DNA sequence: GAATAGATCCGC
DNA sequence: CGGATCTATTCA
């Protein structure tokens, strides 16, 4: 059972929490989502869209359920899923994935493993053939500050499955 | 046009 | 803790 538009249109913090334990499917590979972070609109200084729309972050302003993939630090890609209503820029960063007994902890790592690149930006996960999120199990989790940012550390917008 | 910080990872 | 590696955005 694939997650649809209504799921991703919910408030970003709800999506970031509820997507834990669900299964990300990409090109025949799949893994359970075990770590996420929320990036929400104009009042979040760490959000790429905080300063308004640019060519890079444009997809964050679009419909919920689309992929937002960006290139960072000259060598890594990061996968996000757009949330909230069209016009409101927000997304959930997929930071960790459990694939069998392997743990892909880190957004750059899981994109490298799944071979997700900028080619996979702005894809609609609610109707793509080989890129979507499937319903998984309910899990227990914990909230912490987000990783790797210099602004907005006061917010507890990182969600991680506990115990791993 | 130039400068710089950046939602990272790995090895030492 | 520093190096790899590059680009989107900002600044002059």
At A146 the pLDDT is 98
What's this model's pTM, rounded to 2 decimal places?
0.96
Q: How far apart are CA A76 and CA A135, in angstroms?
A: 27
At A96 the pLDDT is 98
Among all chains, which residue has been given the structure tokens 């899981």?
A110
Q: How far apart are CA A91 and CA A73, in angstroms?
A: 20
At A55 the pLDDT is 96
Rounded mean pLDDT of A63-77? 98
DSSP, res A118:
G
Q: Which residues contact A69 (CB under 8 A, 6 or more apart)?
A: A77, A78, A79, A80, A111, A116, A117, A118, A120, A121
Give me the CA A82–C1' C5 separation in Å, rounded: 27
Tell how strand A67-72 and strand A76-82 pair up: antiparallel
Rounded mean pLDDT of A63-82? 98
Over chain A, what is the mean pLDDT? 97
Give me the CA A56–C1' C1 separation in Å, rounded: 31
DSSP, res A44:
-
Chain C bases closer than 7 angstroms to a protein Cβ:
4-10
A96 φ, ψ (degrees, to nearest 5): -150, 145
Which residue's CA shows the smallest distance to C1' of B8?
A: A108
Q: How far apart are CA A43 and CA A82, in angstroms?
A: 17
Give me the CA A71–C1' C5 separation in Å, rounded: 11
Determine the distance from the C-alpha atom of residue A82 to the mean position of all C-alpha atoms in its chain, rounded to a whole number.
7
**Which residues 25-54 on A are within 7 A of strand C at the CB atom?**
48, 51, 54
**pLDDT digit string (tens) for A75-131?**
999 999 999 999 999 999 999 999 999 999 999 999 999 999 999 999 999 999 999
């Amino acid at each position: 059972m694939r997650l649809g538009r209504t799921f991703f249109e919910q408030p970003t913090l709800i999506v970031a929490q509820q997507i834990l334990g669900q299964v990300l499917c990409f090109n025949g590979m799949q893994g359970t989502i075990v770590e996420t972070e929320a990036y929400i609109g104009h009042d979040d200084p760490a959000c790429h869209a905080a300063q308004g729309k640019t060519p890079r972050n444009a997809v964050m302003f679009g419909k919920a359920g689309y992929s937002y993939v960006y290139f960072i630090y000259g060598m890594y890609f990061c996968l996000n899923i757009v949330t909230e209503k069209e016009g409101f820029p927000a997304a959930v960063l997929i930071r960790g994935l459990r694939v069998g007994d392997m743990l892909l902890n880190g957004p750059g790592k899981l994109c490298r493993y799944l071979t997700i690149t900028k080619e996979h930006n702005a894809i609609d996960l609610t109707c793509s053939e080989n890129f979507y999120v499937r319903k998984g199990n309910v899990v227990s989790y914990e909230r912490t500050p987000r990783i790797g940012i210099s602004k907005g550390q006061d917010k507890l917008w990182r969600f991680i499955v506990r115990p791993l």
